[in-house]
Amino acid sequence: MIGGPPLPVAIEEYKVFVTLKTGHKFFGKVYVKAGERVQDLLNDKRAFIPILKHMDDRGTKREDVWKLIVVNKTSIESIEER
């Protein structure tokens, strides 16, 4: 059979600190293909990238609260790996 479902791709998780051009700053996670770097993610052809943003637990007593956001790369001032 030619075609078929795509093969799974190995990915790596990076913890990052993001600063947007608006001045908003947050911790998050990004995922890249195995062997690539966060810089490669920023330099690929996509205009938007998904980031798991770490949220304040707002008194829920949960340790980790994450929200998936999609960010336009032109709005990013810097991303630092942590």
Reply yes or no on whether the pLDDT at 74 is more than 90: yes
pLDDT tens-place string over residues 28-50: 999 999 999 999 999 999 999 99
Q: Which domains does the chain have, with CATH numbers?
A: 11-81 (2.30.30)
Report residue 57's pLDDT band, with 50, 70 and 90 as the boundaries. Answer: low
Given a contact cutoff of 8 angstroms between Cβ atoms, the answer to whether 81 and 12 are in contact is no
Q: Which of 24, 33, 30 is nearest to 48 (CA)?
A: 30
Q: Which of 8-12, 53-57, 58-62 has the lowest mean pLDDT?
A: 58-62
Q: Two tokens at 21?
A: 């051009």
Q: Please, what sign has the CA dihedral across residues 56, 68, 15, 48?
A: negative
Mean pLDDT of the chain: 88
Reply yes or no on whether the pLDDT at 1 is more than 60: no
